[in-house]
Structure 1
Amino acid sequence: MIKHFINLEWKAFFRSPSFKTNLFFKILLGFSALWMIVSFLSMGVGAYFLIKNQLNTDPLVFLNNYLIFYVVGDLLFRYFLQKMPIVNIRPLLYLPIKKGKVIHFALNKTVLSFFNIVHAFFFVPFSVVLLIEGYPFLNVLGWHLALMALIFCNNFINVFVNSKDGVFYTVLAILLIFGGLKYYEIFDITLYTKPVFQAFYNIQYTALIPILLLVFLYKTAYNYFKSNFYLDGGLSKKIDIVKSEDFAWLNRFGSISTFLKNDIRLIKRNKRSKTTLLMSALFLFYGLLFFTDSIEAYKGPFWRIFAGIFVSGGFLFSFGQFVPSWDSAYYPLMMSQNIRYKEYISSKWYLMVIATLVSTILSAFYLYFGWQAYAAVVVGAIYNIGVNSHMVLWGGAYIKTPIDLTSNKKAFGDKKSFNAKTLLLTIPKLVLPMVIYAIGHFTLGEVFGFALVAISGIAGLLFKNKVFNIIEKIYKSEKYKTLAAYKQND
């Protein structure tokens, strides 16, 4: 039966409508995975000696001190990127195969996921080094098995967390709070978690606790899917009853208000769009890497504009680049209606402008780092509104990626998002404002550099209608290719 399942997976890959694209990106992902494996392997071998020589402390004790952040961070990372078993189960429901075998196959497939295996390339060599350095075999074995069991526990915890946004945001908030409290030396959570990880080494049989927890989670996941093993039951897409909202204050925008209202409802009601909103909020703090001089490579003056572009344009980039993909579920219906493309595009533009203005206001705390820091954010916002808002809408015409609003998978992008046209459009988005600022900065000073970037943004606003006419023509020319792409689910 396992051979049969593998055969089905093999056929699904080679018969995919975008096989050539998939093959290219599988190879690309393979090289990325190889790089991660080499990195983890290097850290596993060198971490012991680096900690011992540089910090002059017991490497195992030091590592146990921070393992809580490693384990929780792994869970958060999986939330965004790891594919859930439900994706593998649905296509098999039509075949004459016993439920138990299908579920076991789907769950075991996640066990063999790269997200689990990659950790072994750190912990196995680190454990071997511990043995070479004279640590007792049974103690190291118990510690190693306990940690690997916790990693696999994350695999099954993610099965449940992935379908519950509240759990994820709670875990993320707790991690950030405790991380911040430790950084500012207010409260150290590791004082309570370190003894737990140390106990896995000191008392070997305590390793049975995470192993038994792993067995329990596997059984729970199995029972969960078995009890919901129906297309019209647990495996169907969740449909929530929502309260109708009028958003009357948007009526001032005229005919495009209908689109604006729909976009706001989409953002409020769907998992993927909520995640995008969260990512946009995190962009507000991106400038700390540049304005605090914490990273030597980012101390160049033109990097301030780069930071300002991202701080004020987090929503613009994370949401705008996927227009019209946000509407992929009902895009064919929209195209059959009497809808003017220009009104549709304008509504997205206004939404990004509003978000950019809000981000700029919320970024006022950068004044603490000097007027230059906040000036970079402000002129970055002007450039985003005048130029980049047009660029992301333009690039969106070439990104034909249907978005599953109920899932966070591919929340950071998709293979179809990368092509020659979209990559070329990144030049005026990011490189051009840095060049413009550099010209002004190195001729008449930083104020002139800021002024040039702001003038570029204002010029983009003045030519808004002409640019929109060009974008509208591009959307129309790509219309049928986009509709065809949205019909593919691979």
Structure 2
Amino acid sequence: MIRTLISHSFKQQFRSPVWAKNLVANVFLGFAGVVLSIYVLVLGIFLSEILDSLAPDKEPIQLLNGLIIYYFAVEFFMRFFLQNVPVLAIEPYLHLPMPKRKIVHFMLRKSQVSVFNLISILLFTPFAFREVLTTHGATATLGWLVMIFGLAFTIHFLTILFKKKLNEQPNLVLIIAGLFSVVGGLDYYGFLSLSTISSDLFGSIIEQPAFALIPVVLWFVSYRANYSFLVNNTYPEEISTKKKKSKISGDFAFLKRFGRIGEMIALELKLIIRHKRPRSALMISGFLLLYGLIFYPEEQYQQMNWIFLFVGIFITGTFFLQYGQFLLSWESGYFDFVLTRKVKFRQYFESKYYLFLATSTISFVLSLAYGYFGAQIIFINLAAYLFNIGVNVFFVMRIALFNPKKIDLSKRAAFNYEGVGAAQFLIALPVMFLPYVIYAPFLILGIGEYGLLLLGVLGLIGFLLRDKWLDFITKNFIKNRHKIAAGFRAQ
């Protein structure tokens, strides 16, 4: 039966109508994967020298043991956004005389062939043979590698379970983000030393290799947790029900009080929440609010605070920068309906603008917490926020109308490049460089505060003239709407 499922998986790929269309992209991704694997392997071979140059007074193995916990924390976040949930067209098999448990086992075991698991193997195996084997012996080396692989596969299955549970409990993202923020804060301010804990835990495995069985047990437990969840939630009636009704659809009834525009904003929010790729853009925007922690606490950036303007533009505009660049592409699957429904085109773009305005305002309010690092940061973020809502957002909306590409909302979010075209590269020019064109002369003259003030004033003027901006965007759309629709149909 396993051989049959493997055969069906290959046939599903090669007989797909989009296989030939995506052949070049698949070849390119395969080549990029091979190059990445070589780079990781080389990094693993020379990892001892790299660690020795970073901290000559410490043994490389001791330093690496202190960093492993950070490595797997970063890997968890990368897996959350990039790792695919194991997928098999399971519904056609459920009514056949095939044990469901075997189908689920096949799905989970196949998922272990993952690029993230391969990265851990290529990165740490050469280091183990070069460093651990020569200083602690073969038994310690085997135990240390078993520990690494056990943790990698444990995180693999925990990520899958977390993403599965996320559909039923969306608040899990806030819980996990809060947990990591609290632990990271305790570590940053010295109340808790994660590096010391990591060094002691993984160092003890070298001393007592039998402790390496603990990650293996965690691997087995996380596997069984996924298995139990899938077995208990995979029935034909449940699958058909989930297709008809989404548990996280949301009504957003409070938006109806704002009339037709409020109703359209509610529809936009439902589109975001119900589909993986736009929902991923929203989640990434939430996580990127922490982007300032990379720059604000560091003393070297205090002497080059011109970079804070870039951070402020990014933090207060991260959602419309990610989501707005595909302004029309999100609805490309039913774009003909967009053109024929009883909604004025001006209201269509106005609803999108006010959605972007609301998200930028929320981001700015949350960014006020960065005032802890200095009142100047609040002033910079305010100028960036005003410039975003009065200038940048309209540039993004206008450039997004330039030859938009079709996006299939039913496809995965990770490694999905549908919709990416020339417009996405053009957007970066005005959004990231225009503020500096205005700000740089004042900064050179030593009066950067006046440059920030001018940015804020220009943004405020643009906001007050938003009706003119929206009229301009609407007229351009009306002029090219049939060409855009024909382009979506042709793709």
TM-score bin (small chain): 0.7 to 0.9
- The residue matched to 2:327 in structure 1 has which SS? coil
1:477 aligns with 483
Structure 2: distance between partners of 1:95 and 1:325: 39
Cα 1:448–1:68 change in 2 (3 A) is closer
CA-CA distance at 1:179 after TM superposition: 2.0
Which residue in the other structure is 1:183 paired with? 188
Of the three residues 285, 305, 310, the one matched with 2:309 is 305
Are the equivalent residues in 2 in contact too, given 1:332–1:483 (CA < 8 A)?
no
Counterpart for residue 381 of structure 2? 377
Question: What is aligned with 1:157?
Answer: 158
Go from structure 1 to structure 2 and tell me whether the alpha carbon gap of 1:176 and 1:454 turns closer, same or farther (over 3 Å shift). closer
Is 1:363 equivalent to 2:367 in the alignment?
Answer: yes
The one of 341, 354, 358 aligned to 1:354:
358
Question: For residue 107 of structure 1, what is the aligned residue in structure 2?
Answer: 108
- Paired residues of 1:284 and 1:359 also in contact (CA < 8 A): yes
Q: Give the alignment of 1:314-463 within 5 angstroms.
A: 314-325=318-329, 334-367=338-371, 373-397=377-401, 398-404=404-410, 409-410=412-413, 414-442=416-444, 445-454=447-456, 456-457=458-459, 460-461=462-463, 462=465, 463=468
Change (3 A) 1:57 1:117: same
CA contact (8 A) 2:345 2:474 kept: no
Q: 111-120 or 183-192: which moved more? A: 183-192
DSSP 3-state at the match of 1:71: helix
Please report how far the alpha carbon of residue 410 of structure 1 lies from its aligned counterpart in structure 2 after TM superposition: 1.9
Give the whole-Å Cα distance in 2 for the aligned partners of 1:20 and 1:326.
Answer: 24
**What is the deviation of 1:365?**
4.4
CA distance in 2, matches of 1:292, 1:69: 19
Query: Structure 1 residues 349-358 or 454-463, which shifts more?
Result: 454-463
Secondary structure of the corresponding residue to residue 238 of structure 2? coil
Matched residues in 2 for 1:338 and 1:467: separation?
A: 19
Answer whether contact 1:328 1:403 (CA < 8 A) is retained.
Answer: no
Which residue in the other structure is 2:202 paired with? 197
Give how far 1:151 is off: 0.9
1:135 Cα deviation after fit:
1.7
The alignment status of 1:240 with 2:247, answered yes or no, reads: yes
SS for the counterpart of 1:478 is: helix
1:417 to partner: Cα distance: 3.3
Task: Give the root-mean-square deviation of aligned CA atoms.
Answer: 3.7
What is residue 26 of structure 2 aligned with on the other side? 26
Once the two structures are superposed, the pairs formed by residues 33-182 of structure 1 within 5 Å of their partners are: 33-52=33-52, 54-87=55-88, 89=90, 99=100, 102-131=103-132, 133-165=134-166, 166-182=171-187
SS for the counterpart of 2:136 is: coil
Q: Which amino acid aligns with 1:415?
A: Y
Measure, in 1, the Cα distance between the counterparts of 2:222 and 2:297.
Answer: 44
91 and 168 in structure 1: CA distance in 2 versus 1, 3 angstrom threshold? farther
Shift in Å, 1:423: 1.5
Counterparts of 1:339 and 1:148, CA distance in 2: 55
| Contact persistence 1:64–1:197 (CA under 8 A) | yes
**3-state SS of paired residue (1:247):** helix
1:224–1:381 distance in 2 versus 1, CA, 3 Å: closer
Take 1:370 and 1:212, find their aligned partners in 2: how far apart are those partners? 47
The answer to whether the Cα contact below 8 Å between 1:289 and 1:295 also exists between their aligned partners in 2 is no
Deviation at 1:231, TM superposition (A): 3.9
For 1:351 and 1:101, the matched residues in 2 are separated by 46
Alpha-carbon distance in structure 2 between the residues aligned to 1:18 and 1:434: 43
> For each residue in 1:170-189, what CA deviation from the matched residue of structure 2 results, as whole angstroms up to 9, or x when unmatched?
33332222122112111235
Identity of aligned residues (%): 28
User: What is the SS of the residue equivalent to 1:321?
Assistant: helix
TM-score after normalising by structure 2: 0.82
Q: What SS class does the counterpart of residue 239 from structure 1 fall into?
A: coil
Moved more, 418-427 or 190-199: 190-199
- C-alpha distance in 1 between matches for 2:145 and 2:28: 31
Instruction: Write the distance in 2 (CA, Å) between the matches of 1:295 and 1:28.
Output: 39
In structure 2, how many angstroms separate the alpha carbons of the residues matched to 1:447 and 1:427?
A: 23
Q: Contact between 1:307 and 1:376, CA under 8 Å: does it hold in 2?
A: no
Return 5+ residue gaps in structure 1 as ranges: 486-490
Cα distance in 2 between the residues matched to 1:294 and 1:92: 60
Alignment of 1:186-265 (within 5 A): 186-189=191-194, 194-233=199-238, 236-237=242-243, 239-240=246-247, 244-247=251-254, 251=257, 253-264=258-269
Aligned residues, how many? 478
Instruction: Give the partner amino acid of 2:254.
Output: F
Q: Which runs of 5 or more structure 2 residues have no equivalent in the other structure? A: none
1:418-464 Cα shifts (integer Å, max 9, x gaps): 21232223222222322332245446842453355446545655341
Q: Which range moves more in the overlay, 109-118 or 440-449?
A: 440-449
